[in-house]
Amino acid sequence: MSEINVNTIDKATGSTLNVGAAGTTVNIAGTAGTGFPASGAALTGSTNNTVVTVTGANAIQGEADLTFDGTNLDLPDNKKIRLGTGNDLEVYHDANNSYLKNNINSLISLSAGHYWRNVADTSNSGMCIVSSNVGIGEETPLGKLHVKTGDSGGTAHVGSDELVVEGSGDSGMTILSATNGDATIRFGDSGNNQIGRVAYNHSSNYLNFWTNNSEKMRILSGGQFLVGTTAMKADGFCSISFPGASTRGMTLFDYEADSTANFMQFNSNGTECGRVQKNGTNSVSFTTSSDYRLKENVDYDFDATTKLKELKPARFNWIADETNTLVDGFIAHEVSNVIPEAITGTKDAMHPEVLYTADDELPEGKNIGDVKEAIKINPQGIDQSKLVPLLTKALQEAITKIETLETKVTALENA
């Protein structure tokens, strides 16, 4: 083995300098006393801060794009650092933006406790991963995903911490959909991926609630409230449909056992007009407003007997009653001419036919445009309590006549 020690090797222009054969190693020592500085050998070219690269089988040259000054490794805009056999990961910057580009379908992984954030933000309030939890605006996430714009001072419930949305003032979540689409929150399990849901229909602007995979409640665009049905029954503002044979439509319970509790109160434009009130412990009172301060043109002198004679009490059975049991009552339109305030509705009125639309949940075998509810009668009703004043006045008139007759009879008997 031979050894050549030189201080300087100069290559003439146009000539080639070969050191070692193929497969051999050329060592340039960089220690004190060898003729080279301790920091290593210096390669001198015509351009500062160049890197030596192999450009062919037998050639090397300097490249100005990549520079290293002992502290920083620099590349200009649009020049990329590529990692992986197939250049799978690229890191680069253009004139305006920085990029971390994954060219294949694989993960970009961050170690626990590391952050993605703006370089000017020293509070680690960008995005961070801590023990598999992700925080956005929060370096100690309270759940699997914690989105924070301000500190509320609160904590997340252990049973509902997959998603935490936090703000120091108002906070919330927005779901944006097309004007003809649905915005939905679904609740699922291993048996059904939408066993429950809350959905807003943007086409007709109604909100519906599903349990056990069927709709149970709906709020229409006008505020109408539906329970157990998807269509308003008649002209009401609240419609409740229930299986009457097995349950109650509504139960009101006074848990404080107040003897005068109001189970229900009726109000018209700010003035009470009636109530259902507890009366003691075992009964209720159905009252309607009767305060003198609500009335005017009060008249006690009218002929009740003549009007009473116009009423036509009848005996009948209801068509729906298969037993044909006879009951006493009135026919609504026959009362309307005598005591109109006792009757609601119009004689021979009908509910129009209702068809299935695109907003309905179609039952099996039904299509849009099929009949949902057939045409049916819109029956008149009677409030028989409105007959009481007339009956009372007619009875008083009859009593007066009876007393007059009794007086006359007594006078005759004493004559």
Residues 186 and 220 grouped into a single domain? yes
Residues 211 and 135 grouped into a single domain? no
The answer to the question of residue 81 being in a domain is no
**pTM of the complete model:** 0.59
The answer to the question of residue 290 being in a domain is yes
CA 364 to chain centre: 27
pLDDT at 60: 44
Residues 131 and 153 grouped into a single domain? yes
CA angle 361, 359, 369 (to 5 degrees): 85
Residues 336 and 385 grouped into a single domain? yes
The number of domains in the chain is 5
pLDDT tens for the 415 residues of the chain, in order? 556 666 666 655 556 656 555 555 555 555 444 444 555 455 555 555 555 555 555 444 455 677 777 788 888 898 888 888 888 888 888 888 888 887 776 656 655 555 565 545 555 557 788 878 888 888 889 999 999 999 999 999 999 999 999 999 999 999 999 999 999 999 999 999 999 999 999 998 999 999 999 999 999 998 999 998 887 776 678 888 888 777 888 888 887 777 788 889 999 888 889 999 988 878 889 999 999 999 999 999 999 999 999 999 999 999 999 999 999 999 999 999 999 999 999 999 998 998 888 877 788 899 999 998 899 999 999 999 999 999 999 999 999 999 999 999 999 999 8
The last residue of a domain, from among 214, 240, 266: 240
What are the phi and psi torsion angles at 48 (to 5°)?
Answer: -70, 155
The last residue of a domain, from among 240, 262, 282: 240
The answer to the question of residue 367 being in a domain is yes
The answer to the question of residue 149 being in a domain is yes
Q: Partners of 133 in the beta sheet?
A: 130
CA 231 to chain centre: 21
The answer to the question of residue 1 being in a domain is no
Alpha helices in 67-113 (DSSP H): none
Cα separation, 67 vs 44, whole angstroms: 14
The answer to the question of residue 16 being in a domain is no
Residues 362 and 392 grouped into a single domain? no
Biggest alpha carbon distance in the chain? 174
Are the beta carbons of 383 and 336 closer than 8 angstroms?
A: no
The answer to the question of residue 70 being in a domain is no
What burial letters (b/e) apply to 118-143, b meaning 16+ CB within 10 Å? eeeeeebbbbbbbeebbbbbbbebbb
Cα separation, 225 vs 230, whole angstroms: 10
160: how many CB neighbours lie within 10 A of its CB? 9
The last residue of a domain, from among 171, 195, 216: 171
CA angle 338, 341, 345 (to 5 degrees): 100
Residues 257 and 159 grouped into a single domain? no
Cα separation, 92 vs 76, whole angstroms: 9
Residues 127 and 193 grouped into a single domain? no
Residues 410 and 314 grouped into a single domain? yes
Sign of CA dihedral 250, 251, 252, 255: negative
Instruction: Give the tokens for residue 133.
Output: 């939890």
Residues 341 and 360 grouped into a single domain? no
pLDDT at 34: 46
293: how many CB neighbours lie within 10 A of its CB? 6
Residues 120 and 133 grouped into a single domain? yes
The answer to the question of residue 233 being in a domain is yes
Cα separation, 290 vs 286, whole angstroms: 12
Residues 194 and 231 grouped into a single domain? yes
Full 3-state SS string of 252-316? CCCCCCCCCCEEEEEEECCEEEEEEEEECCCEEEEEECCCHHHCCCCCCCCCHHHHHHHCCCEEE
Residue 232's domain spans which residues? 182-240
Residues 225 and 331 grouped into a single domain? no
Cα separation, 224 vs 207, whole angstroms: 11
